[in-house]
Amino acid sequence: APAAPDARAVSVSPYAQLRPLADLSARRLATADLVAAAKYGTGSPIDDPARERQVLDAVARQAEQIGADPETTVRIFRDQIEANKVVQRALHRRWDADPASAPTERPDLAKVREEINRVNGELVHAIAASEPARTAPYCRGLLTASTAVVVHERRLDALHAGALVRASRSVCG
């Protein structure tokens, strides 16, 4: 039988539930720079529907295993993926316009995906543990605050800050 959701979630403050979610989203978004560099100049498209399917199937399974809602989890992950693509597209445009700013080393996409998989697993848990906060009427305000703190702590530029907001679009509700 699937394990019950983390019982501690109900006793952790709503802000303390959303904060790790925002931080993990930012960590996942940081991988977009590496994916963009891995694909740049190789002809590999930014959009990889087969890989997206894999990611969404895996997180749905992981959510079920811990007794969390797979549909909510998938919905939130679709936004994580969209946000990742926002960053990749912007970087490719920037590098096309200014080749001197393009990366000089090409990361191994398989390695980057291993990191993405690790963050995905942590995100599934953070989504599950934040259920009370995500369904609370004050979720929006706390999410905005969490996002602002993460933007500041991680010194995110406008591109990544905007993408982080995109990533959290369907967290509340």
Task: Return residues touching ligand PRE (CB under 6 A).
Answer: 35, 46-48, 51-52, 55, 81, 84-85, 113, 116
The DSSP annotation for 106-168 comes to ---HHHHHHHHHHHHHHHHHHHHHTHHHHTSTTHHHHHHHHHHHHHHHTT--HHHHHHHHHHT
Least CB distance to ligand PRE at residue 98 (A): 22
Least CB distance to ligand PRE at residue 46 (A): 6
Question: Between residues 44 and 135, which has the closer beta carbon with respect to ligand PRE?
Answer: 44
CA-closest candidate to residue 29, choices 166, 153, 148, 129: 166
Q: How far is CA 52 from CA 46, 74, 79, 81, in A?
A: 11, 11, 11, 8
Minimal CB distance to ligand PRE: which residue? 84
Question: Between residues 46 and 145, which has the closer beta carbon with respect to ligand PRE?
Answer: 46
Question: Between residues 10 and 96, which has the closer beta carbon with respect to ligand PRE?
Answer: 96
Question: Between residues 55 and 142, which has the closer beta carbon with respect to ligand PRE?
Answer: 55
